[in-house]
Amino acid sequence: MRRITYLLLLTVLFLGRAVADEGMWLPSLVEKLNITEMQQMGFQLNAEDIYSINNSSLKDAIVALDRGSCTAELISPDGLLLTNHHCAYSEIQSHSSVEHDYLQDGFWAMTREEELPNPGKSVTFLVRIEDVTSKVLSEVTPDMSEEERSNKIYSITRELEKEAKGDSHYETYVRSFFNANQFHLFVVETFTDVRLAGAPPQALGKFGGDTDNWMWPRHTADFSLFRVYMGPDGKPADFSENNIPYKSKYFLPISLKGIEEGDFAMVMGYPGGTDRYRTSYGVEYTMEVTNPVRVEVREEKLRIIDEYMGTSQKARIQYASKHARSSNYYKYSIGQNRGLDNLNVVEKKKLIEEEFTNWVNANPERQEKYGQALEFIEQAYSDVSVDKAREYMAESMIRGPEIFMYAYRALPVYKMLSDDKLSPEIKEIIQVRLTEGMASHFKDYDAETDMRIAAELMELYAENIEPEYHPAFFAEVKKRYKGNFEKYAERMFKRTIFDDENQLREFLENPDMKTLEKDLAFQASRDIFDKYRDLNDLAAEKNDLLDKGNRLFIAGLMEMKPGKTFYPDANSTMRLTYGQIFDYEPRDGVIYKYYTTTDGYLEKEIPGDDEFHVPERIKELLLAKKFGRYANENGELYACFISNNDITGGNSGSPVINANGELIGVAFDGNWEAMSGDIAFEPELQRCINVDIRFVLWIIDIYAGASHLVDEMEIVE
């Protein structure tokens, strides 16, 4: 195993670039910053093969799913997309029923006509990136207030976006980097006809469930398949029977040659967010406020959902996706606090801040420019009561029960109804506003479960947050219901139309303001969002202070270390990370191999268990070792492997690419020992968990018998 000194660890974690496995790099800058090192590590392609404006390149095979919630990659000339099972989980769930339980049994489209459409699903291709920092900051001056600076930047970026878009169908946006010290313009193309083509059964795609989530060793076949469609003219188009499969500008060839420890590995995708330059004050806030709030609230919510899901197959299907969304970052928050504590990250951050302060104080000009950076940050975190209330409200009432967010959708309707003259056109707008997505919402909704969640989470908020930050209706709960939120929730659900599809549709036939004024869920939702806006307003001044402090701190760090090549935090834009396939030592006396095989999948079997059940057909195939061409030279079928690539949320579904530019796996998780990674990268422990592409193809080809899908691909043996 590789060893690094304490001093080097500090450098790697906080200040710049020391080892190849850390860093989320913009593909447009690879030629300038990375390609030499990549080729020294064994990479056989050049920068133009990765990112090119004029020719097809790897970037053209990588897409953002749903604006960056996940990543997917093209693996055929006809728009076939590979991503994670958990990235398709809500779509698989939405198509599932007691009669067709695709979550439990899997789904395979044996013809393209059988592929399932998914309203609201999108894939976004990157067209080009342009550094516009000098243009954006051309009129910004040091004497501007934060508001003036922000307004000027907003004005300039909107003009740049408008100019770049022209009369094209492309989308354009400018994103800030290094806390608004740098800016890049992105031109993208988004397609909205995305159809489900294949998904393994839960016993493969979600094997290990919450127990194995974020853990290694792993044996999960976390993949699914979509196909993107375009209009006959080759442009994006909403779903239509007339649409045709997308003609891929570039797609990834797939390698069956296998992997070895030390092999070069590259990941391209859309990482959602990191905060590697966060100060000690920010880390303490995460550990003491953000993560504990998330854990406490979601623990209660998940307990209630678990109880309901255990009542029937229908209940399990209804709430499967909701449970998965909530549980993922529940466990993440526990692991992140554990990792930050074990790695002593706060103290290490303080050492960097001490070095920064000494550097600033050594020069009067630096004092003038950066002297207040850390002071601003400290002031912003000096009183966290408002921020804690915002965190609790977001978790317990906005993202907690569904009733409040759903009822709040009726606010524009309420405002329109206040107009005495309700025209037929306005009435139609009202109906469209509330009927959109109604059937799918109520298909997966249980009012009694939501009522229990609302009661528990409102009480949690009341117990943990000062009364001055309570929504207005809490006073009524205290006065009329003696603070009993269970009784209030029962009353609220009896006096609302937003927990029952039939009542809501009846209201829409003849909408009136009086109904909404008497609706307790609607009135509570107004109070909640009014208070949330108040909290945001209270936090605004501190946020400006924090933004300025962070911007100056990062600018100072980059000036303090002119020989370092800094990489920007993730922000849902395309990034590239490169490293190698390696084992690791999680604790004394334990070494985790860099791969697992399907032998381990069978060893984990717990018959009948929701997480570790192995269906009979899978077991028969594995025991008989019917692996076809997907076995290695020893007759084994690899399941998963790990690499030291730098990834985070949003990278789910990203391709793992070898030195020849061929697909060898699909990234789907990080490891438990390095859950601090979004804030502090730990090079000895940080690992990216990937499903081996040979396991993926074995399932599609031999287990599912969907060989026609494999026939579309370019296989390299």
Query: What residues are annotated to the active site?
Result: 86, 222, 652
According to DSSP, the residues that pair with 196 across neighbouring strands are 116, 226
Q: How many C-beta neighbours within 10 Å does residue 668 have?
A: 28
At residue 83, what are phi and psi to the nearest 5 degrees? Answer: -150, -165
Cβ atoms of 213 and 330 within 8 Å: the answer is: no
**What would the two tokens of residue 347 be?**
């103290």
Cβ atoms of 623 and 598 within 8 Å: the answer is: no
Looking up tokens 């009364």 gives 467
Side chain identity at residue 101, one-letter code = D
Q: How far is CA 1 from CA 577, 592, 594, in A?
A: 21, 11, 12
Side chain identity at residue 714, one-letter code = E
Looking up tokens 């990250």 gives 345
Q: How many C-beta neighbours within 10 Å does residue 439 have?
A: 9
CA distance 298 to 457: 9
Radius of gyration of the chain (CA): 26
CA distance 44 to 579: 14
Cβ atoms of 441 and 322 within 8 Å: the answer is: no
Which H/E stretch holds residue 669?
strand 663-670
| SS3 at position 243 | coil
CA distance 223 to 611: 17
Q: How far is CA 494 from CA 166, 488, 500, 517, in A?
A: 53, 10, 10, 15
Side chain identity at residue 286, one-letter code = T
